[in-house]
Amino acid sequence: MSDSSDEWKDWTTDSSDSEDEWFDAKPFIELSLSAYERKAREYLERDLSTINWERLKSKLNNATFVPKLHPVPRWLRLIDVVQRKIVRVPRQPFDYVCLSYTWGKVKEFQARVDNITRLQEDGALDSPENPEEPMGPNNLGVPATIQDAMTACQSLGQRYLWVDRLCIVQDGPKEDIQAHFDGIGRIYNHALVTLIAYEGNDARYGLHGISRPIDPKASGNDSWTRSAWLKRGWTYQEAVLSRNVVFFLREGVIFEHEGEAFLSRGLQEPRISQHTTMFHGAVQYCEAVENYTERMLSYRHDIVNAFSGICNHLFDKNHLFGMPRNDFDSAMHWWVKDGQGRRRPSTNGHIFPTWCWASMEGQILFPRDLRNLVIPFWAFVDKIDSKGKVSLDYPRPNFGMFGQGSKKNDALMRMAIHAYVNGYISVSPTENISRDMTTTEFGNKFPSYADFWKYSRGIRSNNPSQNPDVEPLYFREFSEQQKSLAKSPGRILVHSWISRLDVTHKVDRHGSIGLHIFHGRDCIGAGFAEAISGPSLRRGSLTFFALSACLCEAWELKQVFSPLEIFNSQFSDPDPRRQCFYVAIIAIEESEEDGVFHRIGTGLIRFDAWFEKLERERRSFVLE
């Protein structure tokens, strides 16, 4: 315990200090309806009823872009729109076009084991679909949207087209299908252009300007609110990772390229005034998760697969269950919007550990201005040798410079000094950091948060799994039994402060559960319950572990917790613009079967209450 229980009060900061903002303002382009209409007509002929393909082709040819993902695999299949059949990737350099659309209820027409040979014959894709004809391996009638995409591909002077339902054998070996899931980001990222079928509810609808007429008088607002494509989960990464896109709208067509992007990021109910860029090649992880989880999936277990392209784009292969291995600390600060979500079941080989956001159904949110001090020590099982011995690895932080001259950063550094010397976030404190160290001295010693993070954890090697003699000191906190438990997929090792706290709960009309957290009669925090059983709530207390010490403003807390009417000014500063330190906490429950813990909720608690008042203990455990 600290010998200066009031010291934490001096770390608050007036948020009016704006000289050193912690996040960059996101680009925001407000567009009038007339501007939207002009953009939609830019690539139409003078009669406004047909597409000017030469102008669109010229724009596409001048839109240079360097793909950011690895090249497409050689086993890829494509549609040859000249010979109207499925082919393998050609050996010589080539360009191709992708289609992004809504499958809808038209699920019969697809490549399958019993028709793939037929689909590889010349002219196999010549015939349009006849809805009256019974479906089967010999009925290869092509739905209108795919027919129109083939026509558009030829009109742009391109020979090859990729469409998921024809270029992936849908009932093929599981490993082949998974390989396509893993490579979907590369497929769209390397395409010359992606055609987006923005209108219609299924593959039979077609594209405006080809089989469907263009209506230049149609309302732009209607286009954005009625789109099924905008609400489909898979289409998010298809658009975001494409280097060029063409939206086919009732009003016309809109071409979008990095640096000249125009349309919505995928808000659930966008208005014309909310149109912003698709930010191709500049994806922000937290924002991408928030936008993606607003959308819907036909199959719940696709939640990670339909986001894997984004993860590969941002983290290469260094991610698991939709979470980055590096900067894992920040990614753990997720919660379900308004507490309204339900647990996604792990079934049929699909695993969704409770610590990852993919384990919950509902929109996921992250803190907007996250600068914090992470408290837990994490470890992953990296390797298991022939004798069953486990080697561990740890996630690397990805935080920037501490910075100086800002009240916010000074407060964070004073907090780091205090937390270190009191053993809150260090394995074995040394005298190299003293209680009377100034923020200038601290900043000179640790130019970045990553430097301090590694030092506080006793890390002296960048790759402990390859050199066990210099592994992080905190690896010793995990027992051999815990390491053995952590061998199972989806399990991680955690070492943090744990406390059992009294709670009361409030259930809203949607079934969401809000929590008030108490120390005696004092309300010291609030949170959301994600998957808490009745018996746990009836006991009136829950186990929490400390995730991080963070700065929050009262108005931010109210915005997060008010929907469930669990915001309580007792645990926040009365000045809504004043920033105070809190501890982000995660509620966990131990399995009676194997002693493995599961995440069941999240919340915030006053820093002074957690570290100065509560009974707590350091503990290592396995989280799944």
* Spatial separation of the C-alpha atoms in residues 386 and 380, rounded to whole Å: 18
Distance of alpha carbon 173 from alpha carbon 164, whole angstroms: 16
Per-residue pLDDT, 10: 44
Q: Are the C-beta atoms of residues 512 and 378 closer than 8 Å to each other?
A: no
Mean pLDDT of 558-580: 58
Q: Which residues is 393 bridged to in the sheet?
A: 380
Mean per-residue pLDDT, 412-423: 84
Strand partners, 365: 335
How high is the pLDDT of residue 337? 85
Cα angle, residue 497 at apex, residues 496 and 499 outer, rounded to 5°: 135
What pLDDT does 445 receive? 87
Amino acid identity of 524?
I
Q: How confident is the model at residue 42 (pLDDT cuts 50, 70, 90)?
A: confident
The percent of residues above 90 in pLDDT, for the chain, comes to 31
**Among the listed residues 462, 497, 526, 498, the one whose alpha carbon sits nearest the alpha carbon of residue 375:** 497
Binned at pLDDT 50, 70 and 90, residue 262 comes out as very low
537 burial via Cβ count (<10 Å: 0-12, 13-18, 19+): middle
What is the dihedral angle through the alpha carbons of 455, 459, 460, 463, rounded to the nearest 10 degrees? -140
Please give the residue that has the higher pLDDT: either 268 or 34: 34
Give the model's confidence band at 289: pLDDT under 50 very low, under 70 low, under 90 confident, else very high: very high
Tens of pLDDT, residue by residue over 167-224, are 999 988 988 888 888 888 889 988 999 999 999 998 999 999 999 999 877 765 566 6
- Residue 359 sits at φ, ψ, to 5 deg, of -75, -10
The token pair that represents 42 in the structure block: 């830019």
In this structure, how many other beta carbons lie within 10 angstroms of the beta carbon of residue 173?
10
SS (H, E, C) 112-168: CCCCHHHHCCCCCCCCECCCCCCCCCCCCCECHHHHHHHHHHHHCCCCEEECHHHHC
Give the C-alpha distances (Å, rounded to integers) separating 121 from 79, 85, 432, 467, 536.
Answer: 11, 6, 73, 55, 62
Where do the DSSP E strands lie in 200-305?
244-249, 252-257
Length in residues, the chain? 624
- Of residues 398 and 601, more confidence is placed in 601
* Confidence at residue 577, expressed as pLDDT on a 0 to 100 scale: 54
Q: Is the pLDDT of residue 461 over 80?
A: no
* pLDDT for 493: 97
Coil, strand, or helix at residue 279?
coil
pLDDT single digits (tens) 314-348: 888 889 999 998 888 889 999 888 777 788 888 77
36 pLDDT above the threshold of 70: no
Looking at residue 593, its pLDDT comes to 87
102 phi/psi in degrees, rounded to 5: -105, 125
d(CA 420, CA 413): 10
Tokens linked to 243? 């280097």
With tokens 């922000």, the residue in question is 284
In this structure, are residues 229 and 244 in contact, taking their beta carbons and an 8 Å threshold?
no
Mean pLDDT of 540-552: 88
8 Å CB contact between 22 and 408: yes
pLDDT by residue (tens digit) across 112-128? 999 999 999 999 998 87
3-class state of residue 392 by DSSP: strand
Which pLDDT belongs to residue 72? 75
Quote the mean pLDDT of the chain: 79
pLDDT of residue 407: 66
Q: Does residue 89 have a pLDDT over 80?
A: yes
Each residue of 369-414: pLDDT tens digit? 666 788 999 999 988 888 888 889 888 876 555 555 566 678 788 8
Q: Where are the alpha helices (DSSP H) in 62-99?
A: none
Model confidence over 471-520: pLDDT tens digits?
Answer: 788 898 999 999 999 999 999 999 999 999 998 887 776 667 888 888 88
Digit-coded pLDDT (tens) for 152-182: 999 999 999 999 999 999 988 988 888 888 8
* pLDDT computed for residue 345 by the predictor: 84
For residues 549 and 15, the model is more confident at 549
Angle between helices 308-315 and 174-190 in degrees, nearest 10: 60
**What pLDDT was estimated at residue 133?**
58
**pLDDT exceeds 90 at position 269:** no
Burial grade of 261 (CB within 10 A; 0-12, 13-18, 19 or more) = buried
Give the pLDDT of residue 282: 46
* Residue reference for tokens 């997929």: 489
Per-residue pLDDT at 348 = 75
Mean pLDDT of 82-97: 90
What sections of 162-307 are H helices per DSSP? 164-167, 174-190, 220-226, 234-240, 285-292
Residues 6+ apart with CB under 8 A from 178: 305
**CB of 526 within 8 A of CB of 571?**
yes
The Cα–Cα gap between 562 and 526 comes to 10
Look at residue 24 and tell me whether its pLDDT is greater than 70: no
Q: Looking at residue 417, what is its pLDDT?
A: 87
Q: What percent of the chain has pLDDT over 70?
A: 74
Asked if 15 and 577 touch (Cβ cutoff 8 Å), the reply is: yes
